[in-house]
């Protein structure tokens, strides 16, 4: 059974192994930081994928919920003096709960109306973050947020999460946790309900799926994970300002998701790493890189409607067919 598992998943295991030993290559602080942010954005994009990719509801408040998670952790640790881990859990729950309250009215709308109403909420979060100076620090934001509370592990000793290596393992652990949770959800009967709603909401309702309840569940879970991503972001970044909660963040995740591959588990990770790394790599081009980027997006949407992952799946299917045909051809040749 283990051998079968390895044979089937060798590629993913290889990637995991590489991710685990990554700090051994002693990358520069700059590269380390990019990778850490990519992990956080991967979590955000993965959660976006649950509501948008699997359930088919284009929530454009995702950046807002990322901000809610970030501000919640910042305020609880900075002003409330709370333990970071407790604050992170509470922030995720707060984000999920606000998602529940926002979902109640907005999920009664469909398609573009849902997109617009959630976009409005995202903008409201941004404005509140900027205007409520006494609470959120206004547009200058909050600074000197304490780093994650050190924890003591057996064998390893105390970890204080101030070195890039420790921060890297921290976000990697949360990324793996998110991937695990998404994998469990998506490949379950519960996941089938979400996919049914994306595919044909009327039919889903007719076959007995409570579409509203399931959409709300997907929205709440999605916002739990993006709130968590926001909280982690603050733990690493140690500052937060309204741009963190801005709707442009939502569109970043949307781009990561579209390029990586909607409704796949690897897609959001590929998208977040690939696109973010590419943006950093082309830093010298300044704002012109956005032009290049727009062109890339157009090409992907036209030629790879299901993103890089969709493209890879199609390619693999074609290769399989090609080998099968060759095999059949060879057998025919032998039989004469």
Positions touching another protein (CB under 8 A) are 181, 184-185, 188-193, 195-196, 199-200, 202-211, 217, 221
The alpha carbon dihedral of 201, 206, 209, 212 has a sign of: positive
Considering only CA atoms, which of 223, 272, 206, 237 is closest in space to residue 95?
223
- Rounded least distance, CB 306 to another protein, Å: 10
Looking at the Cβ atoms of 294 and 305, the one nearer to another protein is 305
Looking at the Cβ atoms of 124 and 181, the one nearer to another protein is 181
- Rounded least distance, CB 94 to another protein, Å: 19
Looking at the Cβ atoms of 161 and 224, the one nearer to another protein is 224
Looking at the Cβ atoms of 209 and 237, the one nearer to another protein is 209
Rounded-to-integer distance, Cα 161 and Cα 237, Å: 12
Are 146 and 237 in contact by the 8 Å Cβ rule? The answer is no
- Rounded least distance, CB 234 to another protein, Å: 26
Considering only CA atoms, which of 237, 64, 63, 227 is closest in space to residue 142?
237
- Rounded least distance, CB 327 to another protein, Å: 20
Rounded-to-integer distance, Cα 245 and Cα 240, Å: 9
Looking at the Cβ atoms of 8 and 184, the one nearer to another protein is 184
Looking at the Cβ atoms of 82 and 221, the one nearer to another protein is 221
Q: Which residues contact 73 (CB under 8 A, 6 or more apart)?
A: 84, 87, 88, 91, 145, 230, 231, 234, 235
E-strand ranges in the chain read 151-153, 157-159
Looking at the Cβ atoms of 189 and 284, the one nearer to another protein is 189
Query: What phi and psi values does residue 92 have, to the nearest 5 degrees?
Result: -65, -40
Residue 228, class by beta-carbon neighbours within 10 Å (0-12 exposed, 13-18 middle, 19+ buried)?
Answer: buried
Any bridge partners for residue 240, and if so which? 142
- Rounded least distance, CB 105 to another protein, Å: 18
The two three-digit tokens of residue 72, written as one number: 């919640």
- Rounded least distance, CB 208 to another protein, Å: 3
- Rounded least distance, CB 333 to another protein, Å: 29
Considering only CA atoms, which of 149, 44, 143, 159 is closest in space to residue 88?
149
Looking at the Cβ atoms of 198 and 238, the one nearer to another protein is 198
- Rounded least distance, CB 58 to another protein, Å: 17
């Amino acid at each position: 059974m283990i051998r079968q598992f390895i044979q089937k998943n060798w590629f993913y295991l290889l990637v995991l192994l590489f991710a685990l030993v990554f700090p051994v290559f002693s990358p520069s602080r700059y590269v380390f930081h990019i990778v850490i942010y990519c992990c956080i954005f991967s979590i955000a994009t993965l959660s976006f994928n649950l509501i948008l990719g699997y359930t088919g509801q284009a929530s454009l408040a995702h950046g807002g919920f990322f901000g809610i998670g970030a501000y919640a952790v910042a305020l609880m640790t900075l002003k409330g003096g709370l333990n970071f881990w407790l604050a992170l859990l509470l922030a995720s729950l707060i984000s999920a709960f606000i998602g529940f309250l926002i979902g109640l009215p907005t999920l009664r709308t469909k398609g573009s109306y849902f997109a617009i109403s959630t976009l409005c909420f995202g903008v409201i979060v941004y404005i509140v973050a900027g205007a409520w100076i006494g609470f959120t620090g206004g547009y200058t934001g909050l600074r000197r947020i304490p780093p994650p509370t050190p924890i003591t592990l057996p064998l390893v000793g105390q970890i204080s999460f101030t070195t890039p290596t420790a921060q890297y393992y921290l976000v990697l652990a949360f990324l793996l946790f998110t991937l695990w949770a998404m994998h469990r959800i998506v490949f379950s009967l519960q996941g089938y309900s979400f996919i049914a709603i994306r595919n044909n909401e009327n039919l889903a309702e007719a076959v007995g799926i409570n579409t509203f309840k399931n959409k709300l569940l997907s929205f709440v879970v999605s916002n739990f994970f993006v709130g968590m991503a926001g909280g982690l972001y603050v733990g690493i970044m140690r500052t937060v300002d309204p741009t963190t909660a801005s709707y442009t963040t939502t569109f970043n995740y949307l781009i990561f998701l579209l390029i990586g591959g909607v409704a796949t588990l690897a897609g959001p990770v590929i998208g977040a790493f690939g696109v973010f790394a590419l943006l950093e790599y082309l830093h010298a081009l300044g704002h012109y890189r956005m032009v290049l980027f727009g062109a890339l997006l157009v090409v992907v949407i036209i030629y790879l409607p299901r993103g890089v992952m969709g493209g890879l799946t199609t390619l693999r299917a074609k290769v399989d067919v090609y080998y099968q045909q060759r095999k059949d051809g060879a057998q025919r040749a032998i039989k004469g």
